[in-house]
Amino acid sequence: MQSAYDEAIEFISRGMTADELVAFRPSAASSERYEWLIRKEKTDGLLPEEKAELDRVMEVERVLSLAKARACARLNRGEA
What's the pLDDT tens digit per position in 4-15?
Answer: 668 778 888 888
pLDDT tens figures, 22-51: 998 888 888 899 999 999 999 999 999 999
pLDDT value at position 71? 92
Q: Which helix (H) or strand (E) holds 22?
A: helix 18-23
Calpha distance 2→22 (Å, rounded): 22
Distance of CA 47 to CAs 30, 52, 80, Å?
19, 9, 43
76 confidence band (pLDDT: 50, 70, 90): very high
Q: How does pLDDT run across 45-70, given as a tens digit for each residue?
A: 999 999 999 998 898 889 889 999 99
Cα distance between residue 42 and residue 27, in whole Å: 23
Give one word for 54, left, alpha or beta, with left for phi > 0 and alpha for psi -120 to 50. alpha
- What pLDDT is stored for residue 75 in this prediction? 93
Please indicate, yes or no, whether the overall pTM of this predicted structure exceeds 0.85.
no
pLDDT of res. 4: 67
